[in-house]
């Protein structure tokens, strides 16, 4: 399964905003910044943006990221609407700008947690707009369930975007990790099975078909977001895959089992021996398997 690795052939434009400022990154290079923490690095012509209300700045960032991407022929991943505010609707701007600049299929909206709290009528109009713009969506279940709903007493909102509904509308939805070990989330391990496991619980996607869709969210859907060529298990694809100690995708999600082999371009680059548990009772030691077998 693919991790959230960067596609070597294609640099990515990424927008981030948080309580201290707004940034646009071209791969690892900061190309635009606004906000208190980056005053010194902002080009003088852009400093006036710092005096604008936050929502105007965010819209400006969305437009800037789109234009840089259109100019350079790059994909975009914008982390936006990462709040519980039902009026945080930047994904609408994202969809409109994507259409305006003809970037359909190349733009991703990550987090979109405010969609969890939005008015249902508005969402019934928004989702088709996102689908028509060919937006990809990435939910980040581990950080979303940790950060969102913090201002709530009870009931507490879950905060993750509407994964099930977006998938049902035909939008490509992947699940990712975002922060792995930082002050916002310190329990990450880059384990995409853990991500999908949390995602299916938060999204209440525990039907057999729904669990498989969550497995796809960290495999084939994520590959579509990154436009990975030669991805998959079909003849002609790159021989990149992970062999799990599990009978099928649902068991992989249930057990998050040992990764027996990691293969890249046909070569084994990492191995873990099969995990076994031995039970010591009054009889002879007994080997226990948690797999239901194939």
Task: Report how far apart, in Å, the C-alpha atoms of 245 and of each of 85, 87, 216 are.
Answer: 42, 45, 18
Residues paired with 22 in a beta bridge: 17, 34
Task: Report how far apart, in Å, the C-alpha atoms of 208 and of each of 175, 193, 194 are.
Answer: 18, 16, 18
- Residue 77 vs 251, nearer CB to Zn ion: 77
Residues assigned a catalytic role: 82
Shortest distance, position 150 Cβ to Zn ion, whole Å: 16
Count of residues of this chain found to bind Zn ion when the rule CB under 5 A is applied: 2
- Residue 178 vs 251, nearer CB to Zn ion: 178
Residue number with the smallest Cβ distance to Zn ion: 79
Judged by CB under 5 A, the residue of 14, 58, 66, 79 near Zn ion is 79
Shortest distance, position 120 Cβ to Zn ion, whole Å: 25
Return left, alpha or beta for 230; rule: phi > 0 is left, psi -120 to 50 is alpha, else beta: left
Shortest distance, position 178 Cβ to Zn ion, whole Å: 5
- Residue 98 vs 144, nearer CB to Zn ion: 144
**Cα(258)–Cα(244) distance, rounded to whole angstroms?**
6
- Residue 2 vs 109, nearer CB to Zn ion: 109
- Residue 95 vs 143, nearer CB to Zn ion: 143
Name residue, tokens 């305006």: 100
Shortest distance, position 233 Cβ to Zn ion, whole Å: 30
Residues 198-227 that bind Zn ion (CB under 5 A): none
**Cα(20)–Cα(34) distance, rounded to whole angstroms?**
9
Report whether 148 contacts 112 (CB < 8 A): no
- Residue 88 vs 245, nearer CB to Zn ion: 88
CA nearest 145: which of 168, 111, 181? 111
**Cα(51)–Cα(38) distance, rounded to whole angstroms?**
13
**Cα(251)–Cα(163) distance, rounded to whole angstroms?**
21
Q: Which stretch binds Zn ion (CB under 5 A): 66-74, 78-86, 127-135, 215-223?
A: 78-86
Q: Which stretch binds Zn ion (CB under 5 A): 76-84, 96-104, 243-251, 273-281?
A: 76-84
Q: Which stretch binds Zn ion (CB under 5 A): 120-128, 155-163, 173-181, 229-237?
A: 173-181
Shortest distance, position 14 Cβ to Zn ion, whole Å: 9
Residues 174-193 that bind Zn ion (CB under 5 A): 178
Q: Which stretch binds Zn ion (CB under 5 A): 74-82, 96-104, 145-153, 181-189?
A: 74-82
Return left, alpha or beta for 289; rule: phi > 0 is left, psi -120 to 50 is alpha, else beta: beta
Shortest distance, position 276 Cβ to Zn ion, whole Å: 39
Report whether 249 contacts 273 (CB < 8 A): no
Element (H, E) at 196: helix 192-202
Report whether 34 contacts 49 (CB < 8 A): yes
- How many CA atoms, within 13 angstroms, populate the side-chain half-sphere of residue 1? 27
Positions touching Zn ion (CB under 5 A) are 79, 178
């Amino acid at each position: 399964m693919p991790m959230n690795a960067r596609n070597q052939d294609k640099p990515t434009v990424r927008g981030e905003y948080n309580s201290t400022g707004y940034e646009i990154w071209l791969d690892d290079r900061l190309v635009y910044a606004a906000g208190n923490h980056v005053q010194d690095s902002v080009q003088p012509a852009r400093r006036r943006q710092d005096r604008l209300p936050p929502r105007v700045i965010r819209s400006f960032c969305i437009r800037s990221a789109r234009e840089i991407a259109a100019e350079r022929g790059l994909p975009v991943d914008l982390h936006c609407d990462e709040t519980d505010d039902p009026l945080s609707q930047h994904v609408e701007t994202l969809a409109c700008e994507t259409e305006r600049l003809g970037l359909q299929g190349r733009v991703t909206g990550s987090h979109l947690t405010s969609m969890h709290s939005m008015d249902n009528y508005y969402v019934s109009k928004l989702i088709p707009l996102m689908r028509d713009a060919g937006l990809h969506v990435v939910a980040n279940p581990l950080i979303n369930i940790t950060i969102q709903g913090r201002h709530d007493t009870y009931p507490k909102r879950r905060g993750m975007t509407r994964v099930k509904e977006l998938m049902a509308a035909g939008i490509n939805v992947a699940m990712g990790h975002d922060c792995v070990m930082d002050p916002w989330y310190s329990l990450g391990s880059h384990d995409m099975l853990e991500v999908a496991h949390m995602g299916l619980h938060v999204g209440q996607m525990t039907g057999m078909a729904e669990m498989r869709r969550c497995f796809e969210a960290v495999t084939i859907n994520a590959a579509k977001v990154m436009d990975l060529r030669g991805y998959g298990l079909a003849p002609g694809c790159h021989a990149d895959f992970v062999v799990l100690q599990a009978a099928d995708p649902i068991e992989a999600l249930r057990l998050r089992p040992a990764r027996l082999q990691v293969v890249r371009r046909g070569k084994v680059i990492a191995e873990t021996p099969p995990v076994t548990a031995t039970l010591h009772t009054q009889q002879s030691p007994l080997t226990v398997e948690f797999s239901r077998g194939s």
